[in-house]
Structure 1
């Protein structure tokens, strides 16, 4: 078999190729495999393709790799998939990528994952992504993470979210962040929360924030808090309100302060009942934006912490 001229192999009809035994295919040299045309490769059965060794597969040119059907790619064993060179991985079509089994995906090495394009990652479904190991997840490029189909995000397992690096979390689009479930959002680490951009925070829901631990809420940067819509602020539960630090509270805009309910403020006041600085948390402008009932929620001790400017800023209506 090894003595057959490459030109003679390339001249075989598709019907003749389909009729070749797997043992015949297995005996082909890499040069002979390279000589097979795209049309011939396209009609080969799974048994025939599985008979090719890793060197044979790695020798197939990229234009011929793309000619294979999704079923043919999906029929390759994990050893063969792992043997594909990065150039071959990079040219797989969206259909071929979507046809990869979870076993095939988990067999890919770091270089292969890095070679994936944004279009290929966009083609992956949640089941495939959830099969990746933590080391594989962290190997995904930030642009690829941002390319994950937004409609697949909610179906990602919490382990996948927990496996994202801080840089990858920062690369998520606002639409992706907004689709995270509360369980997924709670998986973000303190560094991840701190890395969220103002654009991402604007897409965050109150329910997502309410799913965070006090330590994670305190990790939110003041600019991120200021980017919250007033409807988001008014929907924060008392646990989230209580977790805010002094600097975070002072960073809230007057519009946000105006939407804090008496229940929310009472919770904040009760948590710091003996703190004379509680009134000073609010600037004169913020106190002026509050409701007329707000001062009555403060204790005498806390009221003593108000400056004359704060008192002058209170509404009289």
Structure 2
């Protein structure tokens, strides 16, 4: 019983409960949704969202935001697909993708952490620039004819799960342990929880924010590899809206937009929810065009609930401090009266 109480108090439990409830409701309406093949498709389809959510989580932990990961993924995917199509080695294509993520992450990091540009302004601006570069690079055309052996990579796996998704989950667990069990890992939460306090105890706040943006952009670039393998082609608008899905995955997974709260496990479940929405709509008889609308509704709802809960917790803490001070004053007066 105590274990269940402790479990329900954890923020990521919300995403787990929401996912189970979503699957159960859809299964009641359309039982074919719970077929093993369909569940595996939902899991394997979550790979890209999970990697993007992991990167976004680093930034949100520090109390910032990154609105450029969709464009970063799109440009990286276009470069990767065109290089592989043109016969370049896979290693060289991956190196190019990593360089793209590294450059964009450093630019975002310098803008936000060093120049103190508001993160939403900085990253929206970078999003527009990178999206423009995608159009220039592709000439506004689709990148097609990706070799079939590269597309086959996303189909290989074990027990229905692709190796790409298995690798993503393993990476998520390793990162979760790093963030929760190491001194440097806890810096990200500390910066978002209390930036001024982090500065006073010697945490390198600017460097931590810079690293978070680099990791976020690198995650978007690495996610493009899975994206190209799964989709098989890239359009000039590929990755559009992925920043919203990554943010929504983090928020639904219990990561607070104010920073310092949440963990990667919740983000992974949130990403699975995001990946499942389009399939859920199909099984419910709706068009997948409602995907972005539902994502926006979920994001706003969770943010509002989170804000209300934080306000209540703040008020509760204030009342508790006031009660403690009042009790201390009364006790002092009583002791003074006895002594007198």
TM-score under structure 1 length normalisation: 0.19
Larger Rg: 1
Higher relative contact order (CA 8 A, sep 6+): 2
Superposition TM-score, scaled by structure 2 size? 0.18
